[in-house]
Structure 1
Amino acid sequence: MPRNAAGFDRIATQVFAPLYPVVARRLLSWAGTEKGLCVDLGAGPGLLGIEVAAHSEMEVLALDRDPEMLSFAGQHIREAGLSGRVGSLLGDVHALPFCDNTVDLFVSRGSIFFWEDRPRAFSEIFRALAPGGTAYLGGSFGTPAIKEEIFAEMRRRNPHWDEDVARRSGRGRPATLTAALSSAGLHDAGIKDEETGFWVEIKK
């Protein structure tokens, strides 16, 4: 994946776009919620958060620590006509700018592989979750067909795509993430598998 915000936005909008509505609907269904506050962690250009808002009545915040990335998120939010319900927020998952017990749903696709201190991040997420709230943190490609299309296009654009995927996946294997949950004291949290990936599921 590109390291600069413009390149990342280009890949997200041109290649990965089909997976976001599928993933948003799935996570909303798992969470069993349609209203309240949703925060998309490591949101990048904000496409997952936008789809959560489009498929529910939730207020959504796209949180990222890169101001340039948030400028792309703001552009996409405006283009989607969701400025009234989706906002962007500069912040870091390791020190979330939310009071205790205030967020109904956390979602995050892809960023967990880059978190520097996962036990701390998991603790912060649990602290900020509202009672009855849920977090889904991880990654998938929606459906096998969407994954196949994305991988084919990414291999065309990047000859080292498969190596890059393997390297990123190595940073966040289920066993590693389960150990981080235990280190955070979240012994009731776990891994939720699906066809094209897996998610850390934290409930409060």
Structure 2
Amino acid sequence: MGYVPGRFDREGAEHMDRIAKTVFAPVYPVLAEQILIRCGFSRGRCLDVGSGPGSLGIALAQASDLAVTLLDSSPDMLAIAEENVREAGLSDRVSPLRGDVHDIPLPAGSVDLVVSRGSVFFWEDLSRAFSEIYRVLAPGGRTYVGGGFGTAELRDAVAAAMTKENADWKSFRDKNLGPDNRERVAGVLADLGLHHRIINDDSGLWVVIERGR
């Protein structure tokens, strides 16, 4: 979507919310199901990093018993996310938190599952960001961080719609999900010594980090 965490005023946040509720709407339930299956969590505490309007975090809460924290550095985006949470009837399990992935305002070992869709491509310091994510992971915790659309069919449908609005959108997507980015992320994780695996299939490009018990 071209989302740059923290760089949205109210108008930009509302524009992103509209796209999330239209073009991208079918993507989030599919991703939520894949995350729950691949990471093996249905309860506990989840952190959605760079959550935007909260679409993925809300989908995860709807499909599980997870308590979800929506982390974003844009107050306008978080205000919209809070409205979406309230409309979904999930205010008891989904809450907004203003903050940045490079300095997550949560205690060490406090989160069972960290997810993020799309924001990783805009993190200024991958090493520091992944170190912070690992710090807040509880023993036995996992991540599902990256970008994608869940299936090839959804990927192609989103691309068809988005390129009508922005002719450069597809090349932007391909760059983010391409081999150069995959190798860059893998190199950072290897340097940090984090036990991980990278999923690169029709669902997208995802990093699963596992913290030992």
Q: Shorter-chain TM-score: which interval?
A: over 0.9
Q: Is the 8 A contact 1:137 1:199 kept in 2?
A: yes
Partner of 1:115: 123
Q: Is the 8 A contact 1:113 1:169 kept in 2?
A: no
Instruction: Quote how far apart the aligned CAs of 1:172 are.
Output: 6.6
Partner of 1:105: 113
Aligned residue for 2:106, secondary structure, equals coil
Letter in 2 for 1:20: Y
Q: Is the 8 A contact 2:147 2:177 kept in 1?
A: no
The 2-side partners of 1:5 and 1:170 are apart by: 27
Q: TM-score, normalised by structure 1?
A: 0.94
The 2-side partners of 1:110 and 1:155 are apart by: 17
Instruction: Quote how far apart the aligned CAs of 1:102 are.
Output: 1.1
Q: 1:199 aligns with which of 196, 200, 206?
A: 206
Instruction: Quote how far apart the aligned CAs of 1:157 are.
Output: 1.6
Letter in 2 for 1:150: V
Instruction: Quote how far apart the aligned CAs of 1:170 are.
Output: 6.2
Fraction of identical pairs, as percent: 45
The 2-side partners of 1:5 and 1:181 are apart by: 31
The 2-side partners of 1:128 and 1:157 are apart by: 38
Aligned residue for 1:163, secondary structure, equals helix
Is structure 2 residue 100 aligned with structure 1 residue 92? yes
Pairing of 1:13-162 with structure 2 (within 5 A): 13-162=21-170
Instruction: Quote how far apart the aligned CAs of 1:171 are.
Output: 10
CA-to-partner distance for each residue in 1:140-183, whole Å, 9 max, x for gaps?
11111111211111111222222332444469711000111123
Q: Is the 8 A contact 2:175 2:181 kept in 1?
A: no
Aligned residue for 1:15, secondary structure, equals coil
Instruction: Quote how far apart the aligned CAs of 1:8 are.
Output: 1.5
Structure 2 unaligned blocks of 5 or more? none
Aligned residue for 2:23, secondary structure, equals helix
Q: TM-score, normalised by structure 2?
A: 0.90
RMSD between aligned residues: 1.7
Aligned residue for 2:64, secondary structure, equals coil
Letter in 2 for 1:192: I
Aligned residue for 2:58, secondary structure, equals helix
Instruction: Quote how far apart the aligned CAs of 1:190 are.
Output: 2.8
CA-to-partner distance for each residue in 1:123-154, whole Å, 9 max, x for gaps?
11111101111001001111111112111111
Structure 1 unaligned blocks of 5 or more? none
CA-to-partner distance for each residue in 1:16-63, whole Å, 9 max, x for gaps?
111000001110111111111001000000000001100100100110
Aligned residues: 203
